[in-house]
Amino acid sequence: MINKVNIGGIDVAAYQSIDELISSSILTTQGIQPGVGIAINPEKIMAAKNDPYIMSILQNATLRYPDGIGVSYVMQKRLGSKVARIPGCELWERLMLRSVEQQIPVFLLGATQSTVLQTYEKLTSLGVDVVGYKDGYFTKEQEQSVIDEIIKSGAKVVSVALGSPRQELFIFECIKYAPDSFFMGVGGTYDVFTNNVKRAPLFFRTLNLEWLFRLLSQPSRLFRQGNLLKYIYYYLTKKI
């Protein structure tokens, strides 16, 4: 039984490790578990508090996991036990490798044509059964044809890198036509996987300071970090 903690109206599942999450909630002994996986961090929780539509999107996901020290810390305090922080990029990469064991067909959507092609080539070299890929530069009018392409591919795991909330909106539309597949929003993961974007060094990740590295690398993120301060305030005043 996986424990869940409600933070700001969103139930987030507590896991001890990435492998536990995959084995219990995605690739079980019964096969692929269909649904939608969404990473939960302070920024998304604050966005959901201000936008009922975003709140409904997050609440409708079948798998919500703590991608951020701010969320896993609150969960640990409320449960009184360890809760693993599960970075979305690490979960995705581990899931891709685990998919090889069961030869689960995968579809890649999002990022630039160059990046998604590099991702495809790197994954296939590792033995991943990538049955299709497409960049994220398509219009709303082209969306149905993209969905048709995904369905035709026969993919059982679909990773979508369109950025939030666009990727979540697409996922919940696509799953109507592919209810037996698992969908995962992955943001900028392909860029990190192909080394087009540098991830925080191990030192920062070990100390749970990946957010600080991103801020130092991209000062323009300062406004977004304001949501983290607001999140901390809401936690201390028991508003989430």
Predicted local confidence at residue 150, as pLDDT: 98
Band (209; pLDDT cuts 50, 70, 90): low
Find the mean pLDDT for residues 94-118: 97
Q: 112 and 149 in one domain?
A: yes
Is 1 part of a structural domain of the chain? no
Q: 148 and 41 in one domain?
A: yes
Q: Convert the pLDDT of each residue in 16-66 to its tens digit.
A: 999 999 999 999 988 899 999 999 999 899 989 989 989 999 999 999 999
Is 63 part of a structural domain of the chain? yes
Q: 65 and 19 in one domain?
A: yes
Other CB atoms closer than 10 Å to residue 83's CB: what's the count? Answer: 23
Q: What is the span of the domain harbouring residue 182?
A: 9-193
β-bridge pairing 31-32 and 35-40: unpaired
Band (234; pLDDT cuts 50, 70, 90): confident
**What's the mean pLDDT when you consider all of the chain?**
90
From CA 98, how far away is CA 224, in angstroms rounded?
33
Single-letter code of the amino acid located at 148: D
Q: 223 and 131 in one domain?
A: no
Predicted local confidence at residue 129, as pLDDT: 98
Q: Convert the pLDDT of each residue in 192-207 to its tens digit.
A: 999 887 766 665 666 5
Q: 91 and 141 in one domain?
A: yes
Q: What is the CATH number of the domain that holds 117?
A: 3.40.50
Q: For 198-216, give the DSSP string.
A: PPPPHHHHHTT-HHHHHHH
Q: 212 and 127 in one domain?
A: no
Predicted local confidence at residue 121, as pLDDT: 98
* pLDDT beyond 90 at 223: no
User: DSSP H helical segments within the chain, as ranges?
Assistant: 18-25, 42-50, 52-60, 69-79, 88-102, 113-125, 143-153, 166-174, 189-193, 202-206, 210-217, 222-236
Q: 48 and 94 in one domain?
A: yes
For the chain, what is the domain count? 2
Q: 188 and 228 in one domain?
A: no
Q: 209 and 181 in one domain?
A: no
Predicted local confidence at residue 40, as pLDDT: 94
User: Residue 63 pairs with which residues in a beta bridge?
Assistant: 37
Q: 112 and 178 in one domain?
A: yes
Is 107 part of a structural domain of the chain? yes
Band (233; pLDDT cuts 50, 70, 90): confident
* pLDDT beyond 70 at 120: yes
Which residues, other chains included, contact 127 with Cβ-Cβ below 8 Å and sequence gap of 6+? 100
Q: 138 and 214 in one domain?
A: no
1 vs 156, more confident: 156
Q: 103 and 28 in one domain?
A: yes
Is 113 part of a structural domain of the chain? yes
